[in-house]
Structure 1
C-alpha cells in the first residue's frame, strides 16, 4: 500500500460489533484502493471509557503502523472536502446526509486521506473488487470471514479471559450449543396488519391503543381487525429442541443482556445453561443503565468475550437483526447446518424476533372465501350447462 494514501475509518453506529462490521467493509475498500487503513474510534463511542484514547485499540490491535495523528498533516489533501488537518479528530454531524460519500466517489478519490465514516455492506462493495484482490470471487460471508481473520486481532488480556472461562466451564461439555437472545423490546410492537409500505417497517404501539387495549399475552387485538399477539423470542425453544434431539447437546452457552432470559432458560434447561458473569438489565430498564463511564471497557470486553466463547461452541442460534449474532457467524467458518440466525417473515419483509408482533389471519380467511365463491360459481354454471369451459378458468 502507498505510504501517502490513507483510509481513515471512523465509527458509524457507536456500538461495538456494529462498528466492527463497518470497519471490515472499510478495510475491503482500503484493499481495493491500495490505501493504508487507520481505525479511530473517538472517546464518546459507547465502549470507550478513556479520554484521548482510540477506542478501537482498547479491544483490538491496530490494523496498520499509523495513527490518526500521522494523517493530520497540512500538506495532505482530504476527502470528503469537509475534512482538513485541523478537524480530523472531530465528528461530522451531517454524515447521515451522505454528501460526497458514495462508494464510487470514495474509491475514485485521489486525496491523500479519505475518511470512511458511513456504512456500506460487503455486498455493495463486491462489484468494485479487482481480480488481483484475494477476496475476488468470494461470497459476502466468505469476505467477512477473510477480513476478520486477516485484520481483527483481539487484545491478549481479553483472549486470556476467554480461554480461562472456556477451560473452566465449557471445555468438557461438547457438543455445546451457543444461543444469543436479545432483550425484549418492551415498548415496541410490530403490527403487520397495517399497510406499512411507506412507513418504517416496525412501529411503536400507539399510545391511545396502549390505554384502551393494554398488552396482554392472551388478548385478541381487534382495533385494526381480528388478530393475535406473538410473543418476543418465541422461536428459540423449538430450534433448540431440534438440535438437542439430533445432536445430544450437553451444554447451552447463553448470551443475553436480559435478566428475565437468564431466569427463563435456567428454569427450562437447568444445569445445562452456562453464562458469563456480567451486568444485565431487566425489561423495564433503559439500555443506557448498563453503562458506567468508569467501566465502559469492561462492558466491551464482556461483549467480545461472549462472541469468542460462542465461536468455540459446536452450534449457534442467534438473532438475524443483531450485530453480535452476525459477528459470531463470521468469526469462524461454521458448517451451514450448525448455525441459524432467527427472524420473522411476513410477506416479503423480515422482522426482528425480540419484539412483539400482531398478526392477522384475515387475508387467509378472505382467500378461502374467494375460493369458496369461485367453486360455487363453477358448480352453478356446470349444473345450468352455461359457459362451457370458461367456468373452469
Structure 2
C-alpha cells in the first residue's frame, strides 16, 4: 500500500451507528483503491462532545496509525477539489448536492487524499470489487460482516462493561431473545395512500409539514378515509413466536424510550432484561439525553446494548435502524435467528416505529380476508430477500 495515498473518512450523519455504517463502506473503497484509511469524527458529533477530539477513537481502536493532521500537507492534492490542507477540519455544507462525489470519480481519483463524507451503501460498491479482492462474490451482508470483523474493535473499558453484564445476567439464562425497539416520534406520520404523488415512495413531505402544525392526535379527523397502523405494533406477536418456538428464558430489551421499558416490564415481568442506561420520553430529542461533557457515557451505553444483543441467541429489530443492522453485522446469526420488522403496504416498506396511514378496509369480510392474505404473503416474500437496506436509519 502506498504511503502517500489516503482516504479521509469524515462523519456523515453525526450519530454513532449510522456513521459506522458510513465508515464500513468507505473502508471498502479504501481497499478497492489501495488507500490508507483515516477516520475523523468532529466535536459536534452526537456522541463526541470533547473539544479537538476524534470521536471515533473515543469508542473504537484506531484503524491506522495516521490522523487527520498527518494528511493535512500543503504539497498534497485533494479530491473533491473543494478541499485543501487548510480546510480538512471543516465540513462541506454543500455536500448534499453530491458535487464531485460520484462513486466512479472517487474510486478513479489520483489525488493524495480522497475525502469521504458522502454515504454509499455497500451494494453500490460491489460492482467495483475485483476478482482478487477478499469480498469478491460475497453478498452485501457478508461484505458488511467481513468489514466489521476486520476493522471495528471497541475500547477495552467498553468491552469490560459488556462482558460484566453478560456474565451477570445473560450467560446462565440462554436462550435469550434480544429486542430492539426504536422510540415513536409522535410527529412522524407516513401517509402511504399517496406515497408516489410527491415523487417519494417513503415519505410524504407535504403531509408531514401539515400534521406538525396540528395536534397529532387529530390525525383521524384529518384523514377520514384512512386508518392508522399502530407504531411498533408487530413486536409483541413476533416475540410470542420466538418465546413459544424456542422456549426463550429471557428477553433483552434495547430501547432509548422510557415508555417502552415500562410497557415491556408490565408485559414480560421478570423475564425482561435491560441495562441501566439513560432513556428519554417519546417526544424528546436525542440531544436532550445529556450535557455535552458526558456524551461518551451515552455512546458507551449504545455500544454496550448493541454488543450484548449480539451475545443473545435470537434478535428482533427495526429494518430501518442502523443499530439493528449493526447487531446483525457483529456476528453471523443464521437465517432463522433474526427478524427485522417494517410496515409493508402496496409493495413498499416503511419504518415500523411510525404512524402509517393506509386506506380504510372494506366492510366486506371476504374482501378483507383476501387483502390480509395478500399482505401476509408479501411480507413473507420480503423476509426471504437478503441484502443491505440503504434506507436503514
**TM-score normalised over the length of structure 2:** 0.88
Q: Give the direction of change, closer, same or farther, for the CA distance of 1:197–1:331 in structure 2 (3 Å limit).
A: farther
Per the alignment, residue 234 of structure 2 pairs with 235
Q: Structure 1 residues 167, 22: CA separation in 2 closer, same or farther (over 3 Å shift)?
A: same
Alpha-carbon distance in structure 2 between the residues aligned to 1:353 and 1:291: 27
Provide, for residues 75-125 of structure 1, a one-character-per-residue CA deviation record: whole Å limited to 9, x for no partner: 111100011111111111111111111110010000011000100000000
Contact persistence 1:49–1:293 (CA under 8 A): yes
Residue 274 of structure 1 corresponds to 273
Q: C-alpha separation between the residues in 2 aligned to 1:232 and 1:169? A: 29
Please give the root-mean-square deviation of Cα atoms over the aligned residues, in Å: 2.0
Question: Any idea what SS the aligned residue of 2:218 has?
Answer: coil
Task: Flag the 1:107–1:160 CA change in 2: closer, same or farther, 3 A.
Answer: same
Aligned position for 1:150: 150
User: Which residues in structure 2 correspond to 1:293-372 (within 5 Å)?
Assistant: 293-361=292-360
Q: Is the Cα contact below 8 Å between 2:46 and 2:287 reproduced in 1?
A: no
Quote the residue 2:116 is aligned against.
116
Give the 3 Å change call, closer, same or farther, for CA 368–354 of structure 1 in structure 2.
closer
The structure whose Rg is larger is 1
| C-alpha distance in 2 between matches for 1:13 and 1:49 | 15
The residue aligned with 2:286 is: 287
In structure 2, stretches of 5+ residues that fail to align are 369-393
Question: Aligned in 2, Cα 1:209/1:224: closer, same or farther, shift over 3 Å?
Answer: farther
> Is residue 2:91 matched to residue 1:87?
no
Partner-residue secondary structure (3-state), 1:23: helix
Residue 43 of structure 1: CA displacement?
Answer: 1.0
Encode CA deviations 1:189-240: one digit per residue, 9 max, x unaligned: 222223534244334273499469725xxxxx46545332221100000110
Query: Structure 1 residues 2, 144: CA separation in 2 closer, same or farther (over 3 Å shift)?
Result: same
Q: Distance in 2 between matches of 1:213 and 1:47?
A: 32
Which position in structure 1 is the counterpart of 2:378? none
- Residue 360 of structure 1, CA deviation: 1.7
Q: Which runs of 5+ in 1 are unaligned?
A: 216-220, 370-393
Find the residue that maps to 1:161 and give its secondary structure: helix
Q: Give the direction of change, closer, same or farther, for the CA distance of 1:109–1:175 in structure 2 (3 Å limit).
A: same
After superposition, the Cα gap between the structure-2 partners of 1:32 and 1:93, relative to the gap in structure 1 and judged at 3 Å, is: same
What count of residue pairs does the alignment treat as equivalent?
A: 363
Q: Is the 8 A contact 2:135 2:143 kept in 1?
A: yes
**In the alignment, what sits opposite 1:387?**
none
